[in-house]
Structure 1
Amino acid sequence: MNEYDFDILRLAGLGYCCAQIVVQLALEVQGKENPGLVRAMSALCHGFPCTTGTCGALTGAACLLGYYAGKGTPEEEEHERFALMLAELEEWFERQYGSLYGGIACSDIVADGKPDTTICGGLVSACYGQTMTILVENGFDPED
């Protein structure tokens, strides 16, 4: 178990979905609240655009990379390695889970695209952990 697995269980118990949990974990590390961002992440729950779409844990993790490395104001530029970070995340997920489940769509991973705590919790944990690793390896401090 990872140090944040209990937080994942807590957030799932509060009704948050996979994509929301990935972002909420990072907000909590920063000591911030952003209900609008968390609410927006609900669009990625259970795959996007529907259960035949990409796993919400993965799309949530991609959004988390964007939260740290994307362009946020007119004066900012996205981090020079942002696209590479996204590619690294996708390739990792494909290697780890694509072959295991026969694809990276929510419906490939869980029956009928319905959340399965025995599968989804582990995916959320792994995606969050991998995203934090990618960020740190690229010079980001997740607490900032």
Structure 2
Amino acid sequence: MTSSLDIAPLVGRGYCCSQAMALLALEAMGRENPELVRAMFGLCRGLAQTGGTCGILTGGCCVLGLYVAKGADEEEAHPMANPVVAEFADWFREKTAVYGGDTCPAILGEHDPHGPSPAHCGTLLAESWDHILEILTAYGIDPTLPRGEG
């Protein structure tokens, strides 16, 4: 199981949640892709820093897309691509209901009189990565293999 201690070094090096999700997937595949990691910045802090939908959710959906989506003319999407991504989104929304929603302000507790709780993010990021691995495994997708190599 991934722990928030496994995630902390990524955040400590200045990556946001969505970028950390991409880095975890790339690491699992033994790959580097700085362009992808930079692109994931657009999902940081709730979609372009707006406080919208959490970057863990949007980043997680993008990561799942790495494994199941069509990426070239000669490719076809995994036959279960939509259910794979929907399963993660449904799980995430259920998981964050206790915070009052799937936005960054809700998860961080910015409306909580006791103040923000960034600890929620580390735990949620670790749990989300673990759930992504579970989903991929359940659909027979090896998270260590890039799309088209499995």
Fold conserved (TM > 0.5)?
yes
Equivalent residue, structure 1, for 2:129: 128
Contact kept in structure 2, 1:18 and 1:57, CA below 8 Å: yes
> C-alpha separation between the residues in 2 aligned to 1:132 and 1:90?
14
Identify if the C-alpha distance between structure 1 residues 48 and 123 changes in structure 2 by more than 3 Å, giving closer, same or farther.
same
SS in 2 for 1:15: coil
How many Å apart are 1:138 and its aligned residue?
Answer: 0.6
SS in 2 for 1:129: helix
Contact kept in structure 1, 2:2 and 2:130, CA below 8 Å: no
SS in 1 for 2:71: coil
Equivalent residue, structure 1, for 2:61: 62
Contact kept in structure 1, 2:43 and 2:59, CA below 8 Å: yes
Provide, for residues 106-126 of structure 1, a one-character-per-residue CA deviation record: whole Å limited to 9, x for no partner: 1221227xx853111011111
Equivalent residue, structure 2, for 1:48: 47
Equivalent residue, structure 2, for 1:108: 106
Contact kept in structure 1, 2:2 and 2:126, CA below 8 Å: no
Matches within 5 A, 1:65-104: 65-98=64-97, 100-104=98-102
Q: Which has the higher helix share?
A: 1
Equivalent residue, structure 2, for 1:143: 144
Contact kept in structure 2, 1:7 and 1:25, CA below 8 Å: no
Consecutive unaligned residues of structure 2, counting only runs of 5 or more, are: 146-150
* Matched residue type, 1:60: G
How many Å apart are 1:4 and its aligned residue?
Answer: 5.3
Equivalent residue, structure 1, for 2:17: 18
> C-alpha separation between the residues in 1 aligned to 2:8 and 2:51?
25
> C-alpha separation between the residues in 1 aligned to 2:74 and 2:30?
25
Equivalent residue, structure 2, for 1:117: 118
* Matched residue type, 2:132: T
Equivalent residue, structure 2, for 1:8: 7
How many Å apart are 1:6 and its aligned residue?
Answer: 3.4
Larger radius of gyration: 2
> C-alpha separation between the residues in 2 aligned to 1:76 and 1:25?
24
SS in 1 for 2:101: coil
Provide, for residues 20-65 of structure 1, a one-character-per-residue CA deviation record: whole Å limited to 9, x for no partner: 1011011111111000000000110111154331111111110010
Contact kept in structure 1, 2:53 and 2:102, CA below 8 Å: yes
TM-score (norm 1): 0.89
> C-alpha separation between the residues in 1 aligned to 2:3 and 2:101?
26
SS in 2 for 1:72: coil
